[in-house]
């Protein structure tokens, strides 16, 4: 177990977090989503507005079959299968349908966890006001293979609600239906803001298998609260497993024992958020959590500081802290780090830059709040 003692070890701690985050990201099973819909319905617009880094625009698209390509991007654990050509003449429609159906069967029979298609977003332009029979039949067919969410794109007018009801009444056995506007519409005095994206993310998240929920969370950029909640609930489980419940004493004399646990924790939380974490930013977040820049991190120093700041934490008599104290401290750290990630994500996705100092102050304030709350 690596120790974090001495003046400069917080730097090792930072490097370890970065390495661990990278390793975890590489090990994550990607979530694979198929987006089906006629040309111009807004598939690319939807993908760009839901996922980080303008995925449809900047990702690499590799042809899988004539009417299917797979979009991926290094560092984002997702693959999008994008379809084309389903709007052509009836003969081609049949061809495309067969080709895509066969491809889904082929991929999902291979039993390769990295390729497996998890869900289909079937996009229909809500302005078209109707849905053709061949689409209804295809949706029914697809729903027998995989979970399907029907996405009503460009739902600018209120008729889209009627279309939604109509589709709902078709009994296609779909997993959900969602009206959206992926990008604001603007014309003269008329403006409609984005809507429905968060709901689509929530609906999808619920349906996805456990093994890829984190990947989906990492890739999406519209529902930050979803990331926060996953990170919180994962942390609580992790901390309980790491420290046990109750009063397992932890030898404080070697409080560095806490650190490897926390490296793993911070790395995991980072992979839920999916942000470009610069070393300088991570350093300032972590050092504000430690309270003392460049000192022993999360071992003796932080615990000792906490004892000073929050006398209720307990005592360090005999060089022992209890498992419950360790969990209080670690939970405080986790929740404060999660708040930092929330701010980083919010700003990154909006393209706003925020100073490290600003984040640092926020983290300090949060840590105080978190620890006080848990001592009550």
**Which of 32, 153, 215, 220: binder of ligand GTP (CB under 6 A)?**
153
CB of 31 to Mg ion, least distance (A): 19
CB neighbours of residue 161 within 10 Å: 13
Residue 67 binds what, of ligand GTP, Mg ion, none (CB under 5 to 8 Å, by partner type)? Answer: none
Contact stretch for Mg ion (CB under 5 A) within 40-48, 94-102, 211-219, 349-357: 40-48
Question: Taking CB under 5 A as the rule, does residue 325 contact Mg ion?
Answer: no
Judged by CB, which is closer to ligand GTP: 125, or 288? 125
Query: Which of residues 9, 10, 21, 44 is near Mg ion by CB under 5 A?
Result: 44
DSSP-assigned letters across all residues of 153-216: ES--STHHHHHHHHHHTT----SEEEE-BSS-EEETTEEE--BSHHHHHHHHHHHS-HHHHHHH
Rg (CA), the chain: 24
By residue count, the chain amounts to 376
Residue 160 interacts with ligand GTP (CB under 6 A)?
Answer: no
Residues binding ligand GTP: number (CB under 6 A): 15
C-alpha span between 152 and 154 (Å, rounded):
7
Instruction: Indicate whether 45 belongs to the interface with ligand GTP (CB under 6 A).
Output: yes
Residue 182 touches ligand GTP, criterion: CB under 6 A = yes
DSSP state of 316: -
Q: Is 41 in the site for ligand GTP (CB under 6 A)?
A: yes
Stretch that binds ligand GTP, among 6-14, 23-31, 178-186, 259-267 (CB under 6 A): 178-186
Q: How far is CA 77 from CA 39, 115, 135, in A?
A: 26, 12, 30
Residues in contact with 151: Cβ distance below 8 Å, sequence separation at least 6, in sequence order? 37, 46, 121, 122, 123, 124, 177, 178, 180, 200
Instruction: Provide, rounded to whole angstroms, the least separation between the CB of residue 44 and Mg ion.
Output: 3
Would you tell me how many other CB atoms lie within 10 Å of the CB of residue 248? 12
Measured from the CB atom, is 90 or 193 closer to ligand GTP?
Answer: 193
For the CB of residue 182, give the shortest distance to ligand GTP in the complex, in Å: 4
Q: Does residue number 49 form part of the binding site for Mg ion (CB under 5 A)?
A: no
End-to-end Cα spacing for the chain: 33
Question: Near Mg ion by CB under 5 A, which window of 2-10, 15-23, 37-45, 103-111?
Answer: 37-45
Helix (H) / strand (E) element for 65: namely strand 60-65
Per CB under 6 A, 70 contacts ligand GTP: no
Q: Is 39 in the site for ligand GTP (CB under 6 A)?
A: yes
Cβ atoms of 286 and 302 closer than 8 Å: no
Residues near Mg ion (CB under 5 A), total: 2
Residues lying near ligand GTP in the complex (CB under 6 A) are found at 37, 39-45, 84, 153-154, 181-183, 185
């Amino acid at each position: 177990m690596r120790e974090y003692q001495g003046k400069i070890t917080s730097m090792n701690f930072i490097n370890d977090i970065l390495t661990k985050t990278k390793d975890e990201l590489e090990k994550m099973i990607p979530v694979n989503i198929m987006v089906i819909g006629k040309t111009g319905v807004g598939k690319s617009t939807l993908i760009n507005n839901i996922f980080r880094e303008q995925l449809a625009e900047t990702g690499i698209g590799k042809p899988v079959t004539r009417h299917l390509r797979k979009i991926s991007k290094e560092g984002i654990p997702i693959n999008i299968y994008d379809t084309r050509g389903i709007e052509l003449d009836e003969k081609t429609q049949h061809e495309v349908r067969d080709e895509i159906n066969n491809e889904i069967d082929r991929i999902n029979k291979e039993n390769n966890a990295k390729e497996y298609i998890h869900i289909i977003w079937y996009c229909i332009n809500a302005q078209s006001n109707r849905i053709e029979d061949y689409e209804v039949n295809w949706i029914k067919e697809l729903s027998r293979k995989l979970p399907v969410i029907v996405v009503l794109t460009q739902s600018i007018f209120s008729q889209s609600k009627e279309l939604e009801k109509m589709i709902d009444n078709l009994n296609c056995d779909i997993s959900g239906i969602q009206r959206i506007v992926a990008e604001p519409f603007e014309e003269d005095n008329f403006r409609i803001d984005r809507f429905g994206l968060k709901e689509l993310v929530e609906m999808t998240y619920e349906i996805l298998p456990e093994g890829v929920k984190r990947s989906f969370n990492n890739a999406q950029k519209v529902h930050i609260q979803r990331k926060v909640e996953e990170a919180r609930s994962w942390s609580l489980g992790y901390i309980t497993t790491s420290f046990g419940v109750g009063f397992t004493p932890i030898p404080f004399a070697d409080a560095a024992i806490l650190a490897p646990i926390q490296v793993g924790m911070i790395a995991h939380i980072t992979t839920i958020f999916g942000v470009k974490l610069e070393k300088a930013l991570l350093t300032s977040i972590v050092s504000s959590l430690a309270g003392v820049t460049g000192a022993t991190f999360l071992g003796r120093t932080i615990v000792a500081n906490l004892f000073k700041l929050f006398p209720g934490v307990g005592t360090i008599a005999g060089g022992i802290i209890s498992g419950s104290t360790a969990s209080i401290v670690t939970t405080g750290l986790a929740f404060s780090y999660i708040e930092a990630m929330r701010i980083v994500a919010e700003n990154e996705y909006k393209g706003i830059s925020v100073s490290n100092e600003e984040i640092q102050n926020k983290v300090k304030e949060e840590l105080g709040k978190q620890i006080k709350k848990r001592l009550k």
